[in-house]
Structure 1
Amino acid sequence: MKGNEAFAEAAVQAGCKYFFGYPITPQNEIPEYMSKRLPEVGGVYLQAESEVAGINMIFGAAGTGFRTLISSSSPGISLMSEGISYIAAAELPCVIINVMRGGPGLGGILPAQSDYFQATKGGGHGDYRLLTLAPGTLQEATEFIMMAFDLAEYYRNPVMILADGFMGQMMEAIEFKKVKLNYDIPDPKEWAIGYMAERGKRALIKSLSLDPEMLEKHNQKLQEKYRRMEEKEVRYESVGVEDADVVIAAYGTTARIAKSSIKKLRDQGMKVGLIRPQSLYPFPYKPFNDLPDGVKHVLVVEMSCGQMIEDVKLGVQGKVPVSFYGRCGGMAPSVEEIEEAAKKLLG
């Protein structure tokens, strides 16, 4: 399947019933697919008049306890930032897919990874976090999306899938299979509007809190939830790190390119490994902090001007040098470019 269509079908198979969105390249096939597919499973598709309207529709639908999805691309996600902050504050579960494109501003329609800060550091206002997953293949993307709905409900928090234009537009063979989590997902959702209304009770879902002491307590409750995420939801892949002289750090499509570079370097007798974060928040700091003694350098490769590198440096804690190689504006690093960047570090 084409990536965007696979993303959408994964959401449907995970039980998504409501989709609100607005067209923007390179994710347009997601709403197009959902417009036909959701009515077939008793769901509702609605094209909002803007991304701002769409994310607030998600707020309302998520409050009913049904599984909801919104998708967009970089500047569209920027427009949603206020609403995402409201949803996180109200502790509502939803899934957000960002198929990244080049920026800043409207930029261009080609792939990029320059929304890392926006996704992982709280793109909107306030002390909130999004559980952020970064798949490396379409198969992994479908599994992450299906898992994301469970994670969103377990933590009562928005979950973002951070993909890029390559993944949205490429085609690969897909096997839809649900990843089981060892979590007790509450059902029925005792906090949801419909569940409460059936019992003659009122569910008040809001993010406004004018009492500073109450708002502080609410923030502290949210921070405790984020700490639980950091304990339980760190995901990463490690390849050939145990004997490496240089370790490449990359995620998503860039990691796929880097794997080809590593194979070529290994064939030439050069010891290069890879750490691929699959969760960007919470970030896998530990494997970078626990690098084997033989590692002499870390090379961060991104389709950006350098964003994930800040988290890599935090993980490494100055134990070895950290260098960067990146392309931006819709340009992707080639296998040969990453190979040459690693060779320079290997001397």
Structure 2
Amino acid sequence: MSDLFTPLKLGAVAAENRVLMAPLTRCRADAEHVPTDLMVEYYSQRATAGLIIAEATMAMEGASAFWREPGIYSEAQVTGWRKVTDAVHAKGGKIFLQIWHGGRACHPLLNDDREPVAPSALPITNDEVHTPAGKKPYTVPRELRDDEIPEIVEGFAIAAENAKRAGFDGVEVHGANGYLLDEFLRDGANLREGPYGGPIENRARLLLEVLDAVCNVWGADRVGLRLSPLNSFNSMKDSDPVGLVTWLAQRLNEYGLAYLHLMRADFFGEQQADVISPVRDHYRGNLVVNMGYSGVEADAVIARGQADAVAFGVPFIANPDLPRRLREGAELSEADPSTFYTQGGEGYIDYPALEELVEA
């Protein structure tokens, strides 16, 4: 049997295979950030993943960085997500919820005119944000005060409690891609002084406080963490990404997490380094890698012991039965980027499974 299709224990969760579904923002929630029936169908179609990591979900109100991304802070949202988890479990699947705060990627037009917050008053400059009024430039965030940070940590703890009530098998803390926790981690976005700025141990303080709070809710063996030390998306940079991720890999050994989810590259190719090897050398838990893997490469990486599982993103959009296709060497369908962030079923729940293509 291919190594990609051997079972894996992710902490307390037994994965049937090592083909994980990466979190993918798809903007199909309603205007109140409540998961919809479209989302129930979408996730249940992909239940054969070893683990589904559901999309970035607002841990607290006022943290929206996309138009119509889901939340997990209201009763209606908990109820909506319960329909998703029930549908995935009915098909034998496992599903974690990725919880986040958008940080400086938030926009007043998405948050009832609230200004975004960040470690430092530095805006995103290499992109624009989708809003109900069209694409708009990012605004300059307000620097969070130290005395406001405990409220952020508590917001993640409440989100973790709500995810448990919604029936998830665990949660993934989003510490990647230029959102709040990542902004504190990397020195290109965090210029502050004091207990949350300066050396790595200070910049990582908020992330570790959030992990402590979330693990207190779930137990560490049902908590994952995603990191992207190289990714320059959302105007992110770090002066020493390898040093940062090496320090984190060593520190995270103290937690006993279900897994560490590591993005290996940069969307824009601006920062290049090998971040997987130092993490594999220093981190003793399950390592999940991500970004641009083919089935063949993923299998080889696992066979060589460089990772324990691979998370696939875009391939899961157009191939709801991706594990079967990879196992059988079947041709993969191509996803349509023009429908990635639209609100309807087109390009979302209408990609056929392999047997439907054969029947056609």
Query: Shared fold by TM > 0.5?
Result: no
TM-score norm. by structure 1 comes to: 0.25
TM-score norm. by structure 2 comes to: 0.25
The structure with the largest alpha-carbon Rg is 1
In proportion to residue count, which structure has more helix? 1
